[in-house]
A and B are shown apart, each in its own frame.
Chain A
Amino acid sequence: MTVIDHLPVLLIAIPILASLLILLVGWHDRRFCYPISLITVLSQFGAAIIIFLQVMREGTVAYHLGSWAPPFGIELLIDSFNGFILMVILLLSAATVIYARRSVESEIEPEKTVPFYVLFQLLVTGLVGMTITGDIFNLYVFLEISSIAAYALIASAQKPRAYVASFNYLILGSIAGGFALIGIGNLYVATGTLNMLDLARLLPASYELATVHAAFLFLVIGFSIKAAFFPLHLWLPDAYAESPSAVTVLISTVMSKVSVYALLRIVFSIFTTAYIFTSFPVNDLILFIATVAIIAGAILAIAQDNLKRLLAYSSVSQIGYIMFALGVSNQVALEGGILHILGHALMKGCLFMVAGLIIYRMGTASLKELGGLSKAMPISCAAFALAGASMIGIPPTIGFMSKYYLVLGALEADHWIYAGALLIGSLLAVGYIWRFIEIAYFKDNDHDEGHRQVRAREGPVSMLLPMVVLALLCLFLGIFVEGVMEAVTPAATLLLGGA
């Protein structure tokens, strides 16, 4: 076997080793932390691309840990769905690491830098693990690794409010973890296996068992909490708004997407559409809640005065789009949902990076104090405008494309009212995006007595670069959406039980 064959396990092993290395080397000189972290995540991203290409070329890649064959050993399984997700999350992780250096310098106390990078690396490890594992208990283990790292990272902002946010998240996250574990236990009782492929094979025999229904509910609710699916989003606004900017970027893009991934994986790959359509019909309910989420999240976002909090509520709304796809559950809608996982990661990453940069330069994210910001920070504001346009769904950005697929899918499934609600709901995004645009571009604090004038400068290159790249990706992946769909379509087909 060559190194290529071992790439799946290296994806997990290397970052764990790197986190230990960071700890050791950081002890000696904390300036080494950042380069190690950067190299690790970049090489992970490279490995993800290689694996994804391999999946596209040769089909699903399976790796048996320690050569123990499933169902006894743990299996890492990368197919066209999680291969795609893996690439998305590592792209965002890489962008975040590049962005993080200056942001960490200004927001984290110097002596905490080493633990910060260690935890950051562990968080990425946990999320990658969740994405590529083929074993549902293993999924839970990685979920806990990533969660614990996230609690600590949120608290690392070292403000009282961050402690509260972290604690709230700890409580709800633990409930979520507990729910997931109960669900997994029930599945094991019903089938005697923990391997996902095995589960999918054995479960149909027990579709009518109350144990299985309970397992489904526990798993869906547990992961809905982690994914902040309305109305289980209560931990999210504080956690996003109070944590250090680099952490916000990572948890709002990578972490939330992995939770959604796990949810989709459980619903479609383990329980399959047969279960959710006939044995335990919850589609319509999920569709309804998702639509409410889209609208309620957007309205809550409009009411915020703090940019980070505004974007946090926007995430509640945007998660609704992906869940909308789950509710519709047909090919076209799922393509839209998976595309939106990518699209939302890109645009929300960019928007939170802008928010973080504003805090870096201005020390505040309060909208009232950002009047005329575009003159001081033209590149950041332009990036915000572009990613914001994608959030609203202005063509030809990627946000429009996913919305288009979702509406098309909903109409094909004859959900006329929901399709209409989605279209109208998407307009609400204008409400919150435009609050910033109006203030930053068209409001001059010079004329307003009592406001201090914006005196910020444009940010450092290491923060601007990932932000601009993400913003441009929102545009170009939208224009060249056909290429992206070549990766998305097989993933959606796979989820629906096709080849």
Chain B
Amino acid sequence: MGDTTLLPAVAVAIPLLASVLIPLVGRHENIREAVTIVAATAMLGSVLAMLPSILSGNQIALSLLPMVPGGDLALRVDAFGMVFALTAAILWLLNSFYAIGYMRSLQEHAQTRFYFCFAVAIAAAVGIAFSENLLTLFIFYEVLTIITYPLVVHAETPEAMKAGRKYLAYLLIGGVFLLAATILTYILTGTTTFVPGGFLAGSGSRLVLQVLFLLFMIGFVKAAWMPLHSWLPAAMVAPTPVSAFLHAVAVVTAGVFGIVRVAGWVYGMELMASLGLGTLLAVIASFTIITASLFALTEDNLKRRLAYSTVSQLSYILLGVSMLSITGMIGAMAHIPIHAFLKITLFFVAGAVIVSAGKECISDMKGIGRKMPVTVLMFSAAAIGICGLPPLSGITSKIYLAIGAVEAGMPVLLLVLIISAILNAAYFFPVIYTMMLDRPDDEHSLDRVTEPPLLMLIPIILTVVASVLIFLYPSMPFMDLIEIAIAEITGSVIP
């Protein structure tokens, strides 16, 4: 059931090609930005071109290069990878427009470096989505770590450098654990190729497999589970498009994507259950969801509050995996695109406020909604979506997660979801209140504030529209893809 086409490689190669062109035309800003936009469009096109085949249940395999024992450099597009790739491709295009507006409005320095790194990062993210085996995934994962570092330290201030070191320390050490886990998997089984339903069963003692899973968990530190999360708030010193796209979508999704891959395609849900790993994940995820929400309550810096919200939301995905039930898994997978679309809106708005009003702290944003009504409205909408209220998509995945919790016989997880929903509201509604209803301390301080440039405003609106559409038509294409993915790993058809 495999199609042969070069499209997966093309999807990775387009942004790489752009990354070569961008430094070459770096002096001509308009051409440079045109390269980014054209590449983003072309990549979205190449991903969409594969969509029909994947939706009809096919997979697209493409072996690029023989490499080392343990895995070739090989790509395989399946339904779950498509979920990630499609999310990344759509949002890269929107984010590219937004980034141009943002970077130009603030007259940021080193923009060529910025766009160069961004292009390589998206190539790595798509590479992760399409990896056929652990080794390929690891290679793209490490590239993603290194190439996002210059974006984190973009400001080049001592504070940024410090954050950059932290970022690198966490992610590179995580990378070593992932490499160790990959090699160990190879030693145990003689392969690292993902198999729906897993291939580790019976290859090692209980203890070895449990330790191996822990190695994987530490390896996927990009999922920002607590207590290994502190690189993510630190990374908020980066320019907002980086925080929005990479640190709310591509990088962190790479982490949770990896964990879901390992759970579904390396271990398999039955093995996970028999090893008691579901419980471990459930503890980690519940702890992270609640604690990160509490942290978010105390943050006055909007981007950092959003970062803690991301930490918390990512663990919803882990929570879904931990239930080891079909419904829970659907919820976990669905939460990847749903959270991505919602959270990127929130970051876009945070960036828009920085551009229009120069404010980063929530306490300074009093009454800003009067001057930027559309932007703040969009923020409110996305925040409501994160809290799990209709008519935005947030509720879709949460319903699955809630049903999964009950199905799995773990009602305590339901409690976690409810507490979290309350906490979400507790850290978002004050922000909305401050922005919309509070009076500014000084009436004239907001005189010059206006809506952000259209290049930024339109992506903000479009991401919200997308979230509404996902709510209204969940099946196209994400839920359809997820159903196929679930059918693969469980070997059964969804009721």
Contact = CB atoms under 8 A, between A and B. Distances in A.
B66 interface: yes
Contact of B180 (A392, A400, A412, A420): A420
A427 B172 contact: yes
Contacts of B183: 404, 407-408, 411, 419
A407 B138 CA distance: 15
Given A395-B139, A407-B183, A442 B161 contact: yes
B12 to A, nearest CB: 13
Prevailing SS type, chain A contact patch: helix
Contacts of B156: 442-444
A379 B156 CA distance: 20
Interface stretch (B44-52, B68-76, B94-102, B243-251): B68-76
Interface stretch (B77-85, B142-150, B254-262, B266-274): B142-150
Contacts of B150: 441-442
Contact of B65 (A427, A430, A443, A479): A479
B428 to A, nearest CB: 34
Interface residues of A, number: 32
Contacts of B143: 394-396
Contacts of B186: 408
Interface in A385-427: 389, 392, 394-396, 400-401, 404-405, 407-408, 411-412, 419-420, 423-424, 426-427
Contacts of B386: none
A282 to B, nearest CB: 26
A411 B146 contact: no
Contacts of B292: none
Contacts of A407: 179-180, 183
B64 to A, nearest CB: 9
Contact of B70 (A408, A441, A480): A408
A122 B430 CA distance: 78
Contacts of B73: 396, 479
Nearest to B154: A442
A412 B188 CA distance: 10
A129 B186 CA distance: 41
Interface string A424-463: 1011001000100010011110000000000000000000
Interface in A351-371: none
Contacts of A392: 172
A430 B149 CA distance: 13
A89 to B, nearest CB: 25
A141 interface: no
A442 B162 CA distance: 12
A405 B135 CA distance: 13
A443 B153 CA distance: 10
A111 interface: no
A481 interface: yes
Interface string A447-490: 00000000000000000000000000000000111100100000
A332 interface: yes
B246 to A, nearest CB: 18
B187 interface: yes
Contacts of A401: 67-68
B168 interface: yes
B169 to A, nearest CB: 8
B65 A411 contact: no
B176 interface: yes
B180 A481 contact: no
A120 to B, nearest CB: 36
A223 B307 CA distance: 55
Contacts of A408: 68-70, 183, 186-187
A444 B179 CA distance: 35
B142 A405 contact: no
B106 interface: no
A204 B65 CA distance: 43
Interface of A: 332, 389, 392, 394-396, 400-401, 404-405, 407-408, 411-412, 419-420, 423-424, 426-427, 430, 434, 438, 441-444, 479-482, 485
The 6 closest A-B pairs by CB, nearest first: A395-B139, A482-B66, A442-B156, A423-B176, A395-B142, A411-B187
Interface of B: 65-70, 73, 138-139, 142-143, 146, 150, 153, 156, 160-161, 164-165, 168, 172-173, 176, 179-180, 183-184, 186-187
Given A392-B172, A427-B176, 19 more contacts: A394-B142, A395-B139, A396-B67, A400-B142, A401-B67, A404-B68, A404-B70, A407-B183, A408-B68, A408-B69, A420-B180, A423-B176, A423-B180, A426-B176, A427-B173, A442-B161, A479-B65, A479-B73, A482-B67
8 contacts: A392-B172, A408-B183, A408-B186, A426-B176, A438-B161, A441-B150, A479-B73, A482-B67
